[in-house]
Amino acid sequence: MAHLHFCICMLLAALVSYTTAQLIVNVRNKGGETVVEKILANTTADTVTLEFLNSDGSLVTQFIDFKSEVQIFRIYVLGEEELGSTKPQAMCFITRFLRNDFISSDAMSKLRQKNPTAIRTPEEEKEMSIHSLDLMVNLDKGHVLSPHVFNICSEATDGIFAQETDLRTISKSLAKDYITLISSTSELVPSKHPRCRDTSDIGRPCACELRTCIGWYPCGLKYCHGKDTGGRVVSYRCGIKTCKRCLSFVYVAKLKTKCLWDF
């Protein structure tokens, strides 16, 4: 019952938020099902939020903080009642954001759609992005990386995961000390643990993999060439390039039962 209640609440919340979304995109996944994405740009905060509800009931949020060059993925995964898990899990993954992988919040805010019911197909499928996450971020100190970490990840009781190399780079650009943010031990290194799907010991930590795909997103701007009134050749923005990218997050789960999808 808790499983069903959470699923209905998440679905209703998603549908309500879609009605106020700046951009709504219908994308067909590999299974032939249509996934509805909402994309919202905030030019004042210089952020972009992309959110969608998967057909398996998982709710995925991709949040980009352009000022801090931080990207946060929050994923709610429904419990498996037949395996004795009824509570949903919430995980947050913080990664470094590369500016050439998504259009700016200002450009995003100017996008308009002529046919919101159309099924969109990305022009390019990027290679899978694999993140081996060996650190856990302290929620109360996450604001050092981005002021949005607390609000987005406050329900991620199973952990806020990051990669040391990413935090080093982000912290250096922000002139911050990333060491104060984290819990860092060898126990958090995925390669030091067996894969959850390969271990029979449900009471020990294991390396868990969680995959998701962003089926459509504006990954760049298109420019055309023309002539101005004086006959000079000029370039101007004339559209966007769209991409798809799948992501793999590999991290240490406290117990095998915290990684039921990776069996």
pLDDT in tens, 52-78: 999 888 999 999 999 999 999 999 998
d(CA 247, CA 253): 18
Mean pLDDT of 233-249: 88
213 assigned to some structural domain: no
Residues 42, 137: Cα–Cα separation, whole Å? 25
Is 114 part of a structural domain of the chain? Answer: yes
Is 214 contained in some domain?
A: no
Residue 234 lies in a domain: no
- Report the distance separating Cα 75 and Cα 60, nearest Å: 5
Rounded Cα–Cα distance for residues 259 and 149 (Å): 23
pLDDT category at 234 given cuts 50, 70, 90 is confident
End-to-end CA distance of the chain: 24
pLDDT exceeds cutoff 60 at 20: no
Question: 3-state DSSP call for residue 169?
Answer: helix
Chain mean position to CA 233 = 40
Q: Does 223 fall in a domain?
A: no
> Of 141-155, 182-196, 217-231, 246-260, where does mean pLDDT reach its minimum?
182-196
- Structural domain count of the chain: 1
Convert the pLDDT of each residue in 170-222 to its tens digit: 888 777 766 666 655 556 889 999 999 998 888 889 999 999 999 999 999 88
pLDDT confidence bin for 9, thresholds 50/70/90: very low
**What's the one-letter identity of residue 218?**
P
CB crowding 33-55: b at 16 or more within 10 Å, else e:
eebbbbbbbeeeeebbbbbbbbe
Q: What is the pLDDT of residue 182?
A: 60
**Is residue 136 within 8 Å of 190, Cβ to Cβ?**
no
Residue 167 is which amino acid? L
Q: Is residue 142 part of a domain?
A: yes
Q: Determine the Cα–Cα distance for residues 87 and 105; give it in Å rounded to an integer.
A: 35
Quote the mean pLDDT of the chain: 84
What's the predicted TM-score (pTM) here?
A: 0.85
Band (pLDDT 50/70/90 cuts) for residue 4 is very low
| CA distance linking residue 48 with residue 46, whole number of Å | 7
Report the distance separating Cα 241 and Cα 217, nearest Å.
8
**pLDDT at residue 92 is higher than 80:** yes
Lookup result for tokens 């100190």:
141
pLDDT value at residue 228: 77
Tell me, yes or no, whether 238 lies in a domain.
no
Does residue 69 fall inside a structural domain?
yes
Radius of gyration of the chain (CA): 20
Distance CA 74, CA 101 (A): 19
Enclosing domain of residue 102: 2-123+132-193
